[in-house]
Structure 1
């Protein structure tokens, strides 16, 4: 899988498929399979399923990410309810009658059937029949610099000496080095008391000089601490992490999520984390991602930037949701060709498939305070999901938009060969080669989503992006009736929902 910055995940698709299969077959000793927020904060009757052992929860501030994360820990006895759902006297009256239902896998309690549990807040306290399971919680406080943590003040001063110190295990060093991309040989954990509950780390410079965690970067210390505790945990543990990207470089964030996928594969652990970062989502499949939107949730891969559009927090006249990046480029090309609409007043957001695009549109249009409309353009083969009354339309053609663009161009390929060659920024004398490659690839291609990458490789390693945009630009100019149909629907939405002027 590729992230937007060109980073290629080292997690093989076979590992992703194997992990999803284990969840489907309930091949775990302990696993949180599903939770239903019957009534918690802004959520009522909302179900979240954990279809992949590493789950990301994204959403705008106040959207409910921490609610879902905390709810995931509540069925287990090692998690005190006040860790995520503390009551503050008369100021938290809304907690009365909160309730969460759970479907758990716990082979120690029932080897064949799911274990059902409920946690509810009644008579000013939480009521639950909790299950025993090791749960590791890493809150945002983990990235507070050591020098700002009052509980570490005893480690300050020239006279400090640890009660006990140990070298980091080889497995911890190996995994942390992969995330941080720096050598960690010689790093140690320094325990500040006899209970081993409080510790700091120390490292060694390339010159052999020692330094303590007081001189670490906050993200570096966070990664080492998480990995050290996770590697020491038993199989089937649940790991909860708040804002996983805190203090980390984007690539380190992606590598951290890859590490957690690897842990799920090696140790049968389950992970739930919250994030505002696209980089954290890059290694994950669509079923591993949930968006918390204040009063509802949505499953599927999406660009975090699209969350503002889904929740109506945009200044555009119209918001457009489509299935993927190519569909986004197609709509943007159509708008540019029209030339009359203000591009900066139209936002086009790629989602993770037809269902996600449609749900995002329906959610946006259901918000009473949102004045700008959302429209959706699904691929031509999604006729069953189209609904013009709800502004769910189809792109031209009866298949994937890549196929439609390719077929339209190929229907006049000899006539358009010179223009296509110039659009590809190739010399005109190569137009016969261009025609030959396009026809050959059209015949042999099995996955149309790869067609422009394949054509680019055959023409001298042109980028898939450049080839796709060359085809789109030519298609928009030569088949204007198709792009006009798209723009007309967006223009109708813009004219229908202009904000009313306040009286003078």
Structure 2
């Protein structure tokens, strides 16, 4: 299920429609500075968050709007004159919380200087030990030690006169209030406190919960960020959360699968596009962590990476050199990224870069590269098969490769048979229009997940089969790689 959102005339976004999955898991909304990431997550939080619109978006023009649709139910905010009007049809059936990177979100939304002064003079007898969930995870994520904040206290909101609890910790006999803690401590306390409250609600909740975290990397060390991602993955699994990061952190993005990455791209005419799925290499745009390689090979997906990596090993092309095979998404992504890297010399003078795309886009890729004058110095070659999804659709449904069908049946689809899955696929209304094979693959992938098997096992078998059966196309790729690398 997806939350459909339309934004019009809000800050830097003139018109954008985006569909955000609400199934459990981690998601990233990324893009270059000024692309609109923070505006998107702040706007999306309006589906459950009712603070005054001007506090979040400043002065907006007449006619600005945010519209939502979820499972046939609708909610909208429309700017008319000086007021924002809210309208709803049906129940959105969704909860959540939003944590802004610096100012907005749940953290200190009612803070004033007078309240800050009063918090320092709170009767220490009113302090009570913080819940172990907050105390231990604060220490684990920030310091790698669950007992680092051994003495963490909070002031109940009725005494602090804030909308949320205020925290203190004690070190070496000295008490430090939340308002004197580091930005990272403040941010994480806010997130953990909100999660603690939501977790209690989730025990008997039927509504989906979506969490938006805006640029949290600004306050956290990369090591803390990695521990936070692992912690939030666990929370998503346990409590059925969809957790969205607005970020351009490599540490964050690299831990999220391409299907869950939304790259916001702003074009020269001011319009905005959404690239999804998106591989981390394209999302980060610049290969910061790949300097020092002798060769970088840009491919479309993990199937392509597996084929190329196997050739490199078999042909002993990895001897005395550092080679990185990098999945980037569709052929346009690969060509644009290669052009960006070569024009700006992002890999250094000693490194070379080449492009390998799927066979089914050969003519389109050559035309796109030539017409746009992109990556003219980069060699380009083509895999012996189409995309994994198209290859499976053709080989298992339309022009059945009996040897491949039997191998997948024997080694992968042993519980629910491949015949049964294909029969179910043929009955779907999308059967005739599934030209790219994504509907079929989604069906197969669901079965793999139900059996706790991942895509990698399927890819390994297909690559092994290709090397046995597709001798000439594999030979062509070998020649290309020898030429590029030697």
Q: Is the TM-score greater than 0.5?
A: yes
Matched with 2:188 is 223
Q: CA deviation at 1:296?
A: 1.3
- Say whether 1:33 aligns with 2:26: no
Change in CA separation of 1:167 and 1:83 when aligned onto 2, cut-off 3 Å: same
Please say if residues 165 and 190 of structure 1, whose CA atoms lie closer than 8 Å, have aligned partners that are also in contact.
yes
Matched with 1:390 is 368
- Say whether 1:358 aligns with 2:332: yes
Change in CA separation of 1:127 and 1:101 when aligned onto 2, cut-off 3 Å: same
Matched with 2:73 is 115
Match of 1:128 among 54, 61, 86: 86
Matched with 1:174 is 136
319-328 vs 292-301, greater mean Cα deviation: 319-328
Matched with 2:64 is 98
CA distance in 1 between partners of 2:211 and 2:75 (Å)? 20
* Cα-to-partner distance string for 1:35-56 (whole Å, 9 max, x where unaligned): 2335544343532332644332
* Cα-to-partner distance string for 1:423-466 (whole Å, 9 max, x where unaligned): xxxxxxxxxxxxxxxxxxxxxx97449999xxxxxxxxxxxxxx
Please say if residues 300 and 334 of structure 2, whose CA atoms lie closer than 8 Å, have aligned partners that are also in contact.
no
- Say whether 1:200 aligns with 2:166: yes
* Cα-to-partner distance string for 1:321-377 (whole Å, 9 max, x where unaligned): 64369869989xx9xxxxxxxxxxxxx994543x3x535757999x9xxx99xx993
Change in CA separation of 1:305 and 1:38 when aligned onto 2, cut-off 3 Å: same
Secondary structure of the residue aligned to 2:217 is coil
Matched with 2:439 is none
Matched with 2:320 is none
CA distance in 2 between partners of 1:268 and 1:188 (Å)? 29
Change in CA separation of 1:320 and 1:35 when aligned onto 2, cut-off 3 Å: farther
Change in CA separation of 1:397 and 1:486 when aligned onto 2, cut-off 3 Å: farther
* Cα-to-partner distance string for 1:7-49 (whole Å, 9 max, x where unaligned): xxxxxxxxxxxxxxxxxxx4xxxxx622233554434353233
Change in CA separation of 1:388 and 1:484 when aligned onto 2, cut-off 3 Å: same
- Say whether 1:247 aligns with 2:233: no
Match of 1:154 among 117, 124, 138: 117
- Say whether 1:65 aligns with 2:28: no
Matched with 2:249 is 277
Matched with 1:288 is 260
Matched with 1:165 is 127
**5+ long unaligned stretches in structure 2:** 203-207, 267-271, 288-295, 313-323, 345-352, 371-378, 388-456, 465-474
Q: CA deviation at 1:219?
A: 0.8
TM-score of the superposed pair, with normalisation by structure 2 = 0.56
Matched with 2:56 is 84
Matched with 1:188 is 153
Query: In the TM superposition, what are the counterparts of 1:351-500 in structure 2 within 5 Å?
Result: 351-353=327-329, 355=330, 357-359=331-333, 361=335, 377-383=355-361, 386-391=364-369, 395-399=381-385, 447-448=459-460, 484=483
Matched with 1:44 is 15
CA distance in 2 between partners of 1:42 and 1:363 (Å)? 24
Q: CA deviation at 1:69?
A: 0.5
Please say if residues 154 and 160 of structure 1, whose CA atoms lie closer than 8 Å, have aligned partners that are also in contact.
no
* Number of positions where the alignment pairs a residue of Structure 1 with one of Structure 2: 345
Q: CA deviation at 1:64?
A: 0.6
